[in-house]
Each structure stands twice: as C-alpha cells, then as structure tokens.
Chain A
Amino acid sequence: MQASARHQRHRLATIVGLLPLIIFLALLLYVGLNAPNFLTVVNLKLVLTQSLTVVLSVIGLSAVVMAGGDDVVSGGIDLSIPATAVLCAGIVAVMTSAGQPVILAAGAALVASMLVGVVNAVLITRLRMAPLLATLAMFVAVVGITNVITERKRLNLNADSIAALRGDIVPGIPLGILLVAILSLLAWFFLHRSKWGLNLQAAGGSRDAAEISGIRVDRLVAQSYLLAAFMGFVTGFFMLARANGYSPGAQDNLMLEMVLATFLGAAFSPRRIVTVWGAILGAVLVAAISIGLKTIGVNVFWTDLIKGALIVIVVALSAISQRVQ
C-alpha cells in the first residue's frame, strides 16, 4: 500500500519534471501549426544558425557551473564570456581591416581572451572573490577595453575565411553548424564522459568531499574558467560571421540568453543539474521560440515578456518536482 503510494508519487514527480520540456514542445507545435513554414528544413537551419553563438557560450558557462557548483551567487558562474567574445571579435575585425592576416589577428585575439580567463581564474581561486562579482566586473572592464580598441564603430568583415562559417561545406550543411556540432560533441564527451569531466562534476557537487578524495578543486575550477574564456574566443568568430563584421553592443543580449539557456537546461535534466546537452537544448529552444514568435507575428515587444514568463514557469516547475520527490 505504502509502496504503491510512493510509486505513484514518483510517477507524479517524473511527469511534473517533464513538464518544462512538454511546455516548450507544445509552444513550438502551436507555432508550427499556425505558421506552416516554421517546421521546414530552411527554417530549422535558420534557428540553428541563430543559436550558434549562444550554444558556444553555454558550453563554457556549463563547464564553469559544473566545476563551481550551481548556486548562482556563491557557486561557479562566468558572466564575462560574452565580453570575451566581443573582445575577440573586436580585435579580429580591427586587425583584419588594417590589412593584417587572419591568422595573426586570431592569435592576438586568443592571447587576449586567455588573459581574461587567467584574470578570472586568479580572482576566483587565489583571491576567493565570488565568481558572480569577479566575472561581472570583468565583463564591464573587458567591454570597456573592447570599446577603446574598436572606438565603438561598426566594422565590416574583411576576411573570407571567417565568412566561410556561414557558407555550406557540403550542399545543405553550413560549415558553422557542423563545427559547432562537433565542438558540442567534444564538450559533451570531455565534460560528461572523461575522467577530467567527472572530477569537475565532483568538485562542483561537493567541494569538501572532492578535496578529501584528493581532487585538486582549485586547479579544476581555474581550468573551467580558462575553458570558458576559450569558448568566448570561439564565439567571437561566429559573432563576426553572423553580423558580417563587428557591431558594438552584442554582449548584453548574449549574456542574458546564455544565462537563460543554461539554467533552463538544468530544468530539463532529470536531476535538475546543469549539463552540457541541457544547456545546448535550452539555447536552441530559446532561439526557436524567438524566431517562432516572430513568424506568427507576435509583437516583438512581447518576446521578452514571454521569455521571462518561460524562465519563471520552467524553474518553478522544476522546484515543484523536486519537492514532490
């Protein structure tokens, strides 16, 4: 009798736990029924292309959250990824417009991006600054430096190799989507299947327990910030490709979408933890919803309201399902 009650409770929890995903899919289905061209290959490609920069940043962010723990204020978080991305995009745009080869520009951008990662890692693991605070301050500083480099100007892209990210590699599959898919698989493997990734998750799950079992937590945490900075570097190129150049001000929206996607992703995962695949799914779904709402003619002023309501509903449902369990 008792066992069946518990069983029922467990089933209820599973259903409530799946609700976030169901709500999303229902919303997409609704959009698909109202706009016949929404569920087409062309549009699907558009959704994926639109989500590439967010997908790349959430890979970095989820690594940081996994290593630092998912408490947003005291755990791991890296808000500076979008700033690193615009820094990289700015450096590459300025150097290539000045006639420098792309390789050289990319090298300089890589050095600058990793420097951001190193500063983050030092502030957080050496000075024990709260990651939210450290990376938020770094966001402001890095965006400021980027504005000095680019003089807040729009710069057109002057490098075919970066524009090639938009083009098809084999007919029908754009190079950018393929590359991001490969990177996502690699990230999934390294963060969820390798020894390093498991240590990283152990460090984030319980810092003390990880330290007692001999995991060098600080080193892993520092590495996660370096990885995040590297993902910011990669994101920069996709930003350049998408906007066909550098346009100032891309960082704010990316920051919000990145955080939104990562924590929505946690609500999709069965144990309510941040995972790479959850975050990527979150990024793609958010892009799909944004484009979908546009296709059925929802006033663009309402999009933020719907996104905000979605965060609240999804996160609330995941809190409820945890309580039911």
Chain B
Amino acid sequence: MDTFANKNWLSPRKILMRFGFLIVFAAFFLFFAAWNPVFVQGQNLLNIVEGSAILIIIALGMTLIVATGGIDLSVGIALDFGAAFAVVAMKSYGMGWFPAACVGLLGGSLVGLLNAALVVGLRISPFLATLGTFFIGSSVQRIFTHGGGPISYRQMPDGFRNIAQGNLFGIPTEVIIAAVLVVIYYLVLERSVWGRRVHAMGMQRSAAIVAGIRVNRILIACFVFASITCAVGGLIAAANIRMFTPLSGFAYLLDAIAAVFIGAALHPRGRPNVLGTLAGVLFLGMVTNGLNLMGLNFNTKDALSGIILVSALALAVAQRNMRSADGD
C-alpha cells in the first residue's frame, strides 16, 4: 500500500489536491512580480501586510463566529462603534489616548452584547440577528452624525495616532497589533480547551450540549470577544485618518467572509481556522496590491478582483472536495 501511495504522489491530481491553492497563490505572486518588479520589493510586501492589518483583525472576529456555526454581518458596525466612541471620548471629553481606546473597545462590545442578547436570549438565527444589528447600528450612526458626516479630530493625542502610524523597530504598530491578535486567536481557538469547545458546538451543537458544554455561555463570549476585536480595527482606522467616518466598516464585511471561507476550504476538515484566514486575507491583499501596481482602470480592477475572488474560492473548495473524496 505504501509503495502505491508513493507512486501516486506525483500524479497531477494529487499535486493539485495538496498544493492547489498554494500553486495559485504562487502563480499570482510570480505574475505580479513579472509585471512590475516593484511588487516584490521589501517595502511593497510590507505595504501589503500593512494594508491588510485591519482586514486581518476583522476576519479574526469573523473566524470565531463562523467557528461557532454562525455568521456575523455586524462586524463593520463594531468597527465603526470602536472608532466613534474613541474619537468622541478624546474630542468631546478630552480623555487621554489610552482611556479613549478602552472606551472605544467598550463601545464595540455593545454590538457584541446586542448580538448575544438576540441570538442567545431571543434565539434568533445569527444571520438575521446580526442583520438586525447591522440595520440598527447603521441608523444609530446616521442619527448621531446627523446623516453620516465624518467626525474629524486633527489634534488627536500622539499616543492614539501611534496606534496606526507609529512603529516599533521599523515595523508599523498596526502590523504588530494584528500579529499579536493572530497569535492570541491561534492559541485560544486552535490550542486551548475552550477553542475545542467552540469548534465542537460549531460542528454539532446538540452533541456539544449533550457533552455538557455550556453552549450559551460560549456563544455570548464569542460575540463579545469578536466585537471587541473588530473595535480594535476601528481604533486603527480612526488613528490612520484621524477621524471617524460613519458606516465605513461595511467595506470589510465581504472580504472578511471571503477570507474566512478561503481559510476553511484550506483546512483538511473544512473548518474555519486562524492560519487559513490569515492566508485568505494575505491572498486578497496581494491581489489588490498587485492589480493596483498594474495601473489598471478603477472599474476594471474591481471587476478583476471580483472574478479572482470567485475563482479562488471555487478552487479552494474543489481542492477540499478532492481531498475528502480520497479520504486523505
């Protein structure tokens, strides 16, 4: 049997099955590099990572919720709330940067608490509950800003601005924050007992309940944890442009969902996972950056990245199917 497996190892099907997505990733990388040598320069690669920092953070929150078996359409609202609370705390209440950042995180957690109340308390399905939160949160922002005008605060304390614009040993702080969160999420979701419980309830909720897992408690924690994570993204966004722009979080929703599902498709058992999500985000970031460097028209670029998104997802899913069909 072993020799058989070894012989088959080099068959195109097996190669595609094992490394399909990686091959596409590499092909795109080489294509962009060939088109414009600037693409592979260290500074540009850092740009890709820096440009993806907020998306990584949002996608981590999404990974957690998808791992519980739900979905969160209100991640953008949590981002907006994080930014809004922090900016208003500094501008109107003269808080220092650190207390203001904490207020921002608290503001974001309100979104998670509302989701948890709807999903756990009222037993609404996560899709509809977070859609409701999305409507309500969008409207609250419009009411608060009298229609959606940004709240800018040019003189924000340096400490706050450094959340996005500072650096540590030459690495931008936002990249460091994102990296720390990736590590935390990896340890919690993939390496801890608690993370096992989250995956267990996501795979088979009733079995998890029978096994004595306190499903509701975990769900509440996940929603709150995810919304605080998204609020961190909001702090970075606010520090970057030194203002709060209402409804700006919505732009991350589709990409975050796509990244999580690309990541899940890369997993042997098709589960959402932190490293897969990271790969998904970096793939999306690379494509955006590469298309930018090709100097395409804005509309063409958008259409191409949409088509690439569909094809990448199809490929990732096909790869998973082949693997599970072979019982590998």
Residues of A within 8 A of B (CB): 71-73, 119, 123, 127-130, 132-134, 136-145, 147-148, 151-152, 256, 259-260, 263, 299, 301-309, 311-312, 315-316, 319-320, 323
Interface residues of B in 77-119 (CB under 8 A from A): 118
Shortest B16–chain A CB gap in Å is 14
In the bound complex, CA of A280 to CA of B233 (Å): 39
B132 within 8 A of A: yes
> Given A127-B321, A144-B306, A309-B132, does the pair A319, B257 have CB atoms closer than 8 Å?
no
Q: Which of B51-59, B188-196, B210-218, B307-315 contacts A (4 or more CB under 8 A)?
A: B307-315
B181 within 8 A of A: no
Please tell me if the beta carbons of B124 and A147 are within 8 angstroms of each other in the complex.
no
Shortest A147–chain B CB gap in Å is 4
Q: Which of B6-14, B136-144, B150-158, B166-174 contacts A (4 or more CB under 8 A)?
A: B136-144
Q: Which of B125, B134, B146, B306 is close to A145, meaning CB atoms less than 8 Å apart?
A: B306
Please tell me if the beta carbons of B131 and A147 are within 8 angstroms of each other in the complex.
no
Please tell me if the beta carbons of B140 and A305 are within 8 angstroms of each other in the complex.
yes
> Given A136-B254, A308-B135, does the pair A319, B124 have CB atoms closer than 8 Å?
yes
Please tell me if the beta carbons of B136 and A128 are within 8 angstroms of each other in the complex.
no
Known: A133-B313, A134-B310, A263-B128. 17 other contacts (CB 8 A): A127-B318, A130-B261, A140-B254, A140-B310, A144-B299, A256-B131, A299-B143, A304-B138, A304-B139, A305-B140, A308-B139, A311-B128, A312-B136, A315-B125, A315-B129, A315-B132, A319-B122
In the bound complex, CA of A73 to CA of B272 (Å): 14
Please tell me if the beta carbons of A259 and B131 are within 8 angstroms of each other in the complex.
yes
Shortest B84–chain A CB gap in Å is 15
Please tell me if the beta carbons of A301 and B143 are within 8 angstroms of each other in the complex.
yes
> Given A130-B261, A304-B139, does the pair A316, B306 have CB atoms closer than 8 Å?
no
In the bound complex, CA of A299 to CA of B148 (Å): 13
Number of A-B contacts (CB under 8 A): 134
In the bound complex, CA of A71 to CA of B128 (Å): 11
B41 within 8 A of A: no
Q: Which of A129, A260, A303, A316 is close to B131, meaning CB atoms less than 8 Å apart?
A: A260
Mask, B281-325, CB within 8 Å of A = 1, is 000000000000000000110111111011001100110010000
Please tell me if the beta carbons of A301 and B139 are within 8 angstroms of each other in the complex.
yes
In the bound complex, CA of A120 to CA of B317 (Å): 14
Q: Which of A123, A152, A304, A315 is close to B124, meaning CB atoms less than 8 Å apart?
A: A315
- Which B residue's beta carbon lies closest to that of A266? B128
In the bound complex, CA of A301 to CA of B131 (Å): 17
Residues of B within 8 A of A142 (CB): 306
